[in-house]
A and B are shown apart, each in its own frame.
Chain A
Amino acid sequence: MAFDWNDLGRPVNHDEVEITLIGPGFGECLVLHVGGGRWITVDSCVDSQDQVDRRPVAERYLRGVGVDLESQVDLVIATHWHADHVRGLGRLVDVCRNATFSCAQSLVKEEFQVFVEEMSTASAATDGAKLRDFREAIRHLYSRQQVIRFATAGKTLKSWGAGTIGHAGGCQVRALSPSDKEYQLFLLEIAQAAPKVRNSKRSATARTPNLASVVLHVQFETFALLLGADMETHHDPLRGWTAAILEGTGLQVRPASLIKVPHHGSATGHHDQMWSQLLEPRPIGLVTPFNSLPDGKKLPTAADISRLTSHTSRLISSSQRPTTSTRGRDPAVERSLRESQIQIRDLATPFGMVRCRKQPGAAWNFEVFQPAAELTWHPVNGS
């Protein structure tokens, strides 16, 4: 089925769990129906192919399937402040006005709020799109005194009782990261990046927010989900996946049967123990593609797909891998770029969606909205 905002199919049933991954466009977004008409959104992006409607895709999707955002969205989560995860976040927080907002603790600390305001001084020229959406979201939360449940490793962000969501056992959303060490390092990094008097104004740039992103574990009575955000591995056991895995095993979380693959399926997002300790054998994998510079590779690479398909029963990508599109440019421009050794890649990738629904006691049912597609591994040249 081709992706069409005007044809999103039937609304979810009251007792169904739904996880829908939308994107990548400019970023990615995930919405989750935990049952009983209660919804969570994770990250935010806009449809890069639609130059007219710039609303966040979570809003467009939920309205499209008949959800009242004001009364039915309980939790809005921003896993980290990378631009490809927060586009439209301000608007999303605005329209989900009764939802609890959740992000890493470091992002609501005074140090980061001061950094956001400093980078936004005098002119919007200096903050680009990077902090604008996050700043707008925080300002809505501040002015409305909306609850922010900040995320730290091991903390429950939201739970619903069985009576609330229409199926036995209820649901619990927990953060497995960021670790305490990551929290400290992030604040230190922000202090170093803070603008100084007489320095030329500039845009905010994110150095290592992936390690400070929020990995989520969503537990139901008979199954669980692992949402890997952009978490990556790190040699320090107190950082990255090693720390998140330690947290998860310490909490004795249920191994998940479905994973939103971390960091676009990259090798840096892979950790063997994540697969062996936080997941059931051969879970279902959902992944969003991404252009990876500077090495020029597109994620997931062929090697990534090979690795991921060996770990999963099914691997579904929300879109095709981005192409290096030069179509339409003047040939003289192409020659100049080549001669100057300048590589340019389109950030906007074809926009798709994969929707997984599950009735209590039944298997997952998949709907793939093209260009979303199931990824399979075909060895080439004996590899």
Chain B
Amino acid sequence: MIAARGESTATALVGRPSFRSQTTATPLDQLNFLSPGSYAKLPASYQSGIDSWISAKQSSDLPIQYEPDSFEDWPPAPSQTKTTQLVTVVEGDNNRETSHLLAEWHGQVTEILGDVFKAELRGTHGVGVVGKQEEALIPIDDVQPDDIDLFVDGAFFRLCISYEVSATGVRRRCTTVVFRRLPAYRREELEDARRVGQEIARGLRLE
């Protein structure tokens, strides 16, 4: 079930897999954060809880995956968010965590250079971040092996910095690179594009 999500995550901070509780209006894709690897490590009772939650989501009116109309629209605009119910996985009484997003950027990979990659970023959340157009160098270590097939020139991702607070009050910062799994090119649309491109090129008034 986890593989059905539209994106996968890479987390710079190594830590025990955990659920984040969301009680406010939240883009749906922020709920899809578990990698297949961390899902597999969960006890069977937790997995079945997750599966039933996802089944409930899939049978509801709201789609789990969000397909944007444009780069600027991703992740969903406020009108395309929903108030989620509290999602809690109990790993013992003291393992409930809350997550607070400090800063977020949307990015596109522009060049892969040895042990880092270069990207263009647009700030979407956080003080001193929103609205800025920036360029970043990000260590390739932050890309999880699961995401290698998504990690190409031109790939879209989200960079998030948040801190998580455990029930015991322990706070830790977390840097996350979330790669976007866009739909694949279809033969028909590439053929259409080819036809349009040829028509335009042949119709230009060249000297």
Contact = CB atoms under 8 A, between A and B. Distances in A.
Given A294-B116, A342-B139, A195 B128 contact: no
A288 to B, nearest CB: 16
Interface residues of B, number: 69
B136 A342 contact: yes
Given A113-B200, A203-B155, A336-B175, 6 more contacts: A113-B198, A114-B194, A118-B194, A333-B102, A337-B175, A346-B133
B154 A347 contact: no
Interface in B90-135: 102-103, 108-111, 113, 116, 118, 120-121, 126-129, 131-135
A198 interface: yes
Interface stretch (A143-151, A312-320, A350-358): A143-151
Interface string A81-124: 00000000000000000001000000011101111111011111
B135 A344 contact: yes
Given A26-B133, A336-B175, A118 B190 contact: yes
A197 B190 contact: yes
B73 to A, nearest CB: 8
Contacts of A326: 128
Contacts of A199: 184-185
A203 B207 contact: no
Contacts of B67: 123
B189 A205 contact: no
Q: Which 6 A-B pairs have the closest CB atoms?
A: A328-B128, A202-B154, A114-B197, A203-B154, A110-B201, A117-B197
Nearest to A328: B128
B64 interface: no
B103 A330 contact: yes
A341 interface: yes
A332 B163 contact: yes
B136 A124 contact: no
29 contacts: A115-B197, A117-B193, A117-B196, A117-B200, A123-B69, A125-B71, A125-B73, A125-B74, A128-B71, A139-B200, A149-B207, A197-B184, A198-B185, A199-B185, A200-B150, A202-B152, A203-B108, A205-B110, A291-B135, A294-B113, A294-B137, A327-B128, A330-B127, A333-B103, A340-B139, A342-B159, A343-B137, A346-B132, A346-B133
Contact of A343 (B73, B131, B136, B149): B136
A342 B207 contact: no
Contacts of B173: 332, 335-336, 339
- Interface size class on chain A is 35 or more
Given A123-B68, A148-B206, A329 B108 contact: no
Interface string B69-95: 111011000000000000000000000
Contacts of A215: none
A125 B200 contact: no
B170 interface: no
Given A142-B204, A150-B207, A342-B136, A205 B111 contact: yes
A69 to B, nearest CB: 20
A114 B201 contact: yes
Nearest to A114: B197
Contacts of B116: 294
A328 B182 contact: no
A378 interface: no
A348 B153 CA distance: 22
A63 interface: no
B102 A332 contact: yes
B118 A294 contact: yes
A294 B136 CA distance: 9
A302 interface: no
Contacts of A17: none
Contacts of B136: 342-345
Contacts of B69: 123-125
A201 B183 contact: yes
A99 B187 CA distance: 38
B28 interface: no
B202 A110 contact: yes
Interface string B137-169: 111001000000110111110010101000000
B181 interface: yes
Given A150-B206, A198-B184, A335-B173, A340 B70 contact: no
A146 B205 contact: yes
A141 interface: yes
Nearest to B192: A121
B104 to A, nearest CB: 10
A335 B175 CA distance: 11
A138 B121 CA distance: 27
Given A149-B207, A195-B185, A333-B103, A347 B161 contact: no
